[in-house]
Structure 1
Amino acid sequence: MTLTIQNNVGALNARNNLNRSSSALNKSIERLSTGFKVNRGADGPAALVISEKQRAQIAGLKTAIANTEKAVSVVQTAEGALNEINSILIKVRSLALDSANSGVNDADAFAANQAEIDNALDTINRISSNTQFGEKSLLDGSAGVTGTASVPATVTFLKGTGDTSGGTYAVAVTTAGERANITGGTSQTTALAADEVLTVNGVSIKLNAGLSQTGVIARINEFTDQTGVVAENRSGGTRLYSKEFGADAEIEVVSDKAAATSSSGFGTTLLTDTGLNIQGTIDGVAASGKGNTLTSVSGASTGAVIRLAADTTNAALSVNGAQGNISVQNNSLVFQIGANQNQTAKIAIQSIKADSLGVAVTGTKFNSLNEVDVTSFDNAQDALKVIDAAIDELSNIRGDLGAFQANTLESIGNNMRSTLENTVNAESVIRDTDFAEEISKFTNNQILVQAGTSVLSSANQTTQSILSLLQ
């Protein structure tokens, strides 16, 4: 063995190994103190790439789960309001049934039932307008299919369905809707010569002697709530027309006085008339007409329902011809229920206003729930059909919301919780410190550092032996 003092190779070797042990010890301390075995790219490039992607997925899953829980709250808010409206409709149905029992009801009883129904419909409209989640309205139609008309004075968009696509659709009336209407066979030109009883739709109206034509019209209109009929001066004659449009609207009128210039002019023969359903197209395709409403039954506009106004020059007819366009927007509620792009679910909630329920029900003179009238036996029977349709419609909406909550939101939420658990576990395997293993490494490295320090100290003492040769 050679003895040198310029280079202490043994000390260099000991220092090199001590540095390695110290570096390994520091890494063990870092892993034990942070809980991660991958703290930087150098600790495991591939592991870092995989775990960072999984971290993003974990954060997305947590947010998506929270989103589904919020969505459930939105659906439950809407469903709770619909439940209350359903209770109101059941009460309205009971009132209609009570009016249908005409054998025991007088005019005051009919009027009381109608007043209560009107109040109930106002409440339905109020609930529809005021039900919100935060500041987002849920039942006024803004969370479903909405539409605006280019000629709002004559066209009103009532509602659409999930089948209604957004777009702009031309509206045209090919046959005007018509109200039932009857004009007196003889125009009244002088005051009534004697008391007269005019029976309109089963309601007896006493006309006192001396009434002018204007007075007669005003007297008939006092009973509009009971008869469903409006009187007007039409080209000098007294005309009666139904409040409702369509083939189910009827008028029956008879007087106890012969037609004459000094009587109401209707005569002692029973006069009857029925209305006519509107016909027209939406987006160039024939629509289903009922009263003064058109319902699209095919094409992109399927499910859209619009109401046409009365002609300004003839109240007994609806508008006719081209009526501009309707612009339809699908504003369905869209929920982000996944951790990745486009993992969404949506549901549309149509307007629950009285004007949008029980629309265009066949076999009844009323064209929506908002028009129901129970001031006579026949009206009460027609009203029951509309109310039953509204209850069915509302129940279907609640069923759709319930299915969406249970089968979409809650099921996906449960699946994401399971996915989150498994993803967290996978990320933990890649990145988290195995403390049992790391403690063993830490102890080993700690001993190596202590031993290396001691050996380095000894290696530095080996050159001391050369001094004995110099003595």
Structure 2
Amino acid sequence: MAMVVKNNIPAKNTLNQLDKNDKALAKSLKKVSSGMKINSAEDDASGYSISEKMRTQMRSLEQDIDNAQTGASMLKVAEGGVQSTVDILSTLKEKVINAANDTNTDADRATIQKELDQAVDQLDENANVQYNGKIMLDGSHNNYVKSPGTLTTLVNESLSTNIAEDDLLTDLTDVAGRSLGIKMDSVIEISYVRQGETHLLRMDPVGLNEVQTLLTGCVSTDGTDVDDVMSVSINSTIGVDRVGSPVNSVNGEKAVIFTAKNPGLDGQISGLTFNVIEKDGSINRTANAVLNNYYEAIKAENPSPDNALVFQVGTKANQAIKMGFSDVRSEALGLRGKDGSTLSITSQMKANAAISVLDLALSKVLDVQTTIGSVESRMEYTMANLTTANENTNSAESVIRDADMAKEMTTYTKNNVLTQAAQSMLAQANQNSSAVLSLLQ
């Protein structure tokens, strides 16, 4: 090898290798100190991009979990208001059953009425329960209800499925084919409650009246025209729900249907009671049990835009749980009229009619409570699912980005030794040029 001084090629080669070792050592040191094998896009462009997407996903999932938790908290507040309403309605039913007992005088019933009035006021307080300024149970956050609103629809499926509108009342049988025992000389009293007022209809005697005249064949004791209030029909299609879709009977067979003539809360029938009385004044318990065994298939609701609450629990748009809160104010429950008049129990007849009102009101509130409870349960599953998804995404991101510390320490040690060796060899290469001086002496 020629001895030169102008260009020390071995030193330059060694310096180049030292630079490479220094850079490799710096990268290893960064990975060991940070605990990540990808610290920037320079380390692994595709891996860095995937990892950042996963990190965004994890942050979104954490916010979803927080959303689900606050949503569950809101539902707990609403459930508390509904439970208080259930408790009040249960107490009120006890009171009206007591008022319907003729061991009480009308003065006693007037005292019970005062208790009922105060309890009804509390129902409206319960409906105004708030979370973060949102009133939840007053109907302001109801689902969409198509105009002009829904009609109260009471359905009785306890009568024979072969029933027809022109069948005589005296021929009525239950679903098992057993006669109700209604005779031509029997009397049928029908009480109904609308706008907090109790009305009485009377068919005396039954005679040859048909099912279709069950209401119109009666005489109103207060001059009210029942034709303007409700109608009776027999069909398997009950009516239409809040969005205009048809509603059928539970068993798909023909049922006796009592439908309010006017939609919304203004036309709501909040209680309906039948009482079949024999000629001798005794009560036909068999007929009464069957005729009063109805349920509210469609509740009266005023038209409403879609104001249901949306709980965002997903990382994409519209991955949400949506829930509307029905109106549970005293008016919506049929305990108070729009003029502020409260359900009256000042007589035995009115107190007896009020029992059916409380039954329907309790059914409405329990339906709301069931809906809230089911969404609460779903929120628990949602939170568990989001937590699992967050953990799995975190694990996947760790595989891409986290450093294997044992491996990186091995690499760091290797690069450290190589750097020190290159430094030593650079010094040696620089010494080689000094040998030329011996030729110049």
The TM-score with structure 1 as length reference comes to 0.64
Whole-Å separation in 2 of the counterparts to 1:24 and 1:271:
100
Q: Does 52-61 or 33-42 show the bigger shift?
A: 33-42
Structure 1 position 146, deviation (Å):
7.2
Q: Which residue of 1 aligns with 2:350?
A: 379
What is the 5 A alignment of 1:251-400?
Answer: 272-277=221-226, 297=240, 300-301=243-244, 305-308=263-266, 328-358=304-334, 371-400=342-371
Q: Which residue of 1 aligns with 2:273?
A: none
Larger Rg: 1
Residue identity matched to 1:387? L
Structure 1 position 3, deviation (Å):
1.2
Q: Does structure 1 residue 114 correspond to structure 2 residue 113? A: yes
What is the 5 A alignment of 1:17-166?
Answer: 17-102=17-102, 104-129=103-128, 131-145=129-143
Q: Secondary structure at the match of 2:304?
A: strand
Q: Is the 8 A contact 2:32 2:403 kept in 1?
A: yes
Residue identity matched to 1:132? Q
Structure 1 position 340, deviation (Å):
1.8
Runs of 4+ in 1 over 3 A off after TM superposition: 145-149, 157-160, 242-248, 270-274, 277-280, 298-305, 366-371
Matched pairs, number: 333
Q: Secondary structure at the match of 2:42?
A: helix
Residue identity matched to 1:275? T
Q: Which residue of 2 aligns with 1:464?
A: 434
Q: Is the 8 A contact 1:21 1:449 kept in 2?
A: yes
Q: Is the 8 A contact 1:244 1:367 kept in 2?
A: no
Structure 1 position 358, deviation (Å):
4.4
Q: Which residue of 1 aligns with 2:209?
A: none
Larger RCO, structures 1/2 (Cα 8 Å, 6+ apart): 2
Structure 1 position 354, deviation (Å):
0.7
Whole-Å separation in 1 of the counterparts to 2:411 and 2:101:
92
Cα gap change, 1:307/1:13 in structure 2, threshold over 3 Å: closer, same or farther? same
Residue identity matched to 2:331? D
Structure 1 position 145, deviation (Å):
3.6
What is the 5 A alignment of 1:446-461?
Answer: 446-461=416-431
Residue identity matched to 1:41? A
Q: Is the 8 A contact 1:128 1:352 kept in 2?
A: yes
Q: Is the 8 A contact 1:359 1:369 kept in 2?
A: no
Whole-Å separation in 1 of the counterparts to 2:43 and 2:16:
21
Structure 1 position 370, deviation (Å):
6.9
Whole-Å separation in 2 of the counterparts to 1:69 and 1:298:
32
Q: Is the 8 A contact 1:246 1:277 kept in 2?
A: no
Q: Is the 8 A contact 1:248 1:274 kept in 2?
A: no
Whole-Å separation in 1 of the counterparts to 2:58 and 2:193:
62
Cα gap change, 1:339/1:146 in structure 2, threshold over 3 Å: closer, same or farther? closer
The TM-score with structure 2 as length reference comes to 0.68
Q: Secondary structure at the match of 1:29?
A: helix
Q: Secondary structure at the match of 1:59?
A: helix
Deviations, residues 420-439 of structure 1 (Å, cap 9, x unaligned): 11100110111112211111
Structure 1 position 41, deviation (Å):
1.1
Deviations, residues 247-286 of structure 1 (Å, cap 9, x unaligned): 972389xxxxxxxxxxxxxxxxx99455234659xxxxxx
Whole-Å separation in 1 of the counterparts to 2:426 and 2:408:
26
Structure 2 residue corresponding to 1:426, chosen from 396, 399, 404: 396
Q: Which residue of 2 aligns with 1:11?
A: 11
Q: Secondary structure at the match of 2:305?
A: strand
> Structure 1: which 5+ residue stretches go unaligned?
150-154, 161-227, 229-241, 253-269, 281-287, 310-325, 361-365
Whole-Å separation in 1 of the counterparts to 2:334 and 2:339:
5
Residue identity matched to 1:276? D
Residue identity matched to 2:93? R
Q: How many percent of aligned residue pairs carry the same amino acid?
A: 30
Structure 1 position 395, deviation (Å):
1.1
Whole-Å separation in 1 of the counterparts to 2:390 and 2:100:
60
More strand by share: 1
Q: Is the 8 A contact 1:158 1:356 kept in 2?
A: no
> Structure 2: which 5+ residue stretches go unaligned?
153-190, 203-218, 233-237, 248-261, 268-301
Q: Is the 8 A contact 1:124 1:354 kept in 2?
A: yes
Question: Aligned-residue CA RMSD in angstroms?
Answer: 3.5
